[in-house]
Structure 1
Amino acid sequence: MEQGNKAKIRRLSSEYMEKQALLDEQRKRRRKGLLRRLTVFGFFLAIFMLFAGVTLFQQHASIQNQQQQNQQLEDELTTMQQEEQRMTQEIEWLHDPEYIAELARRDYFLTKPGETLFQLPRSGTNSD
């Protein structure tokens, strides 16, 4: 019985209803356009973020390498400065006649007149 009543109901077409249908259709088109624009914008934003991330990662790696090289060069500089100090001290000692005489005795087994040279075994060469 209810189906028969529904079939008998007729839609009234009015200017208001047509206007509302047009507004609904416009809203749907605008919403579709908005979704398309947001999708394209999101896609470009994702590409930009990916590019920025890769660039930042490469820069971070480059900075790490440069810091590591800088640390190595600073260590090398410290070593060279110590070597320079040692050599400067060696130069000062080489201007001292007593030091030169000590080197001649030790390395070339030279002696002063009337001096006897005794060679003792070195303590680091034990075969124990």
Structure 2
Amino acid sequence: MDNHYEQKYAKKEKIIHLDRQKNQRIPDGQSNQKKAHSLRGVAKVLFYIGLLVVLSLFVVPLYKTYEQSQLAQQHYEQALSDNQKAIERYQAVSNEFQLLQNPEYLAEIARRDYYYSKPNEIIFDLGDSNQTNHSIFNESIPE
């Protein structure tokens, strides 16, 4: 009968008997709520730390790839610019080559740059006509 009384008493008082500590009474849900609340807080902290780690694992390589892309874009633009300059130089050299095929143009170059003259012709070097010094005309006239 004594055993039957303990079973009824245990149901009413919600007593939990543990192997190590027998007959120790735990309040009705206060400790369970504290444990659950504490576990939720720890879980949130761990979740945010994990989220931060995962984001950093994705963001850092993404940023490095972005920097490499920007550098490659700059190199590409520089290459396009260099290519355009080379095309323009090629066209100028090609035009000059075509002109050098003309004997009249060659005679003009020889006369201009190397002072070759036609028979019975005298060449006077007056300097470059574009750089004529007209400083006497630029001086102010006293009033």
User: Normalized against structure 2, the TM-score is what?
Assistant: 0.67
2:14 aligned partner: 18
The verdict on how the C-alpha distance between 1:25 and 1:31 changes in structure 2, with shifts beyond 3 A counting, is same
Counterpart check, 1:56 vs 2:59: no
Hey, which of these two has a bigger chunk of helix by percent? 1
2:72 aligned partner: 66
The RMSD of aligned alpha carbons is 2.6
CA deviation map 1:39-77 (0-9, x unaligned): 112112112223333323222222111111111111110
The verdict on how the C-alpha distance between 1:16 and 1:100 changes in structure 2, with shifts beyond 3 A counting, is farther
CA deviation map 1:75-128 (0-9, x unaligned): 110000000000100110111001110111111100111222122221326384
Unaligned runs of 5+ in 1: 1-12
Give, in whole Å, the separation in 2 of the partners of 1:121 and 1:68: 46
Q: Determine which of 79, 82, 107 is the counterpart of 1:76.
A: 82
Give, in whole Å, the separation in 1 of the partners of 2:118 and 2:82: 43
2:122 aligned partner: 116
1:22 to partner: Cα distance: 4.7
Give, in whole Å, the separation in 1 of the partners of 2:87 and 2:13: 93
Counterpart check, 1:126 vs 2:133: yes
Moved more, 115-124 or 94-103: 115-124
Give, in whole Å, the separation in 1 of the partners of 2:43 and 2:82: 58
Identity of aligned residues (%): 25
Q: Determine which of 34, 37, 40 is the counterpart of 1:31.
A: 37
The verdict on how the C-alpha distance between 1:113 and 1:29 changes in structure 2, with shifts beyond 3 A counting, is same
Give, in whole Å, the separation in 2 of the partners of 1:49 and 1:16: 52
3-state DSSP of counterpart to 1:118: coil
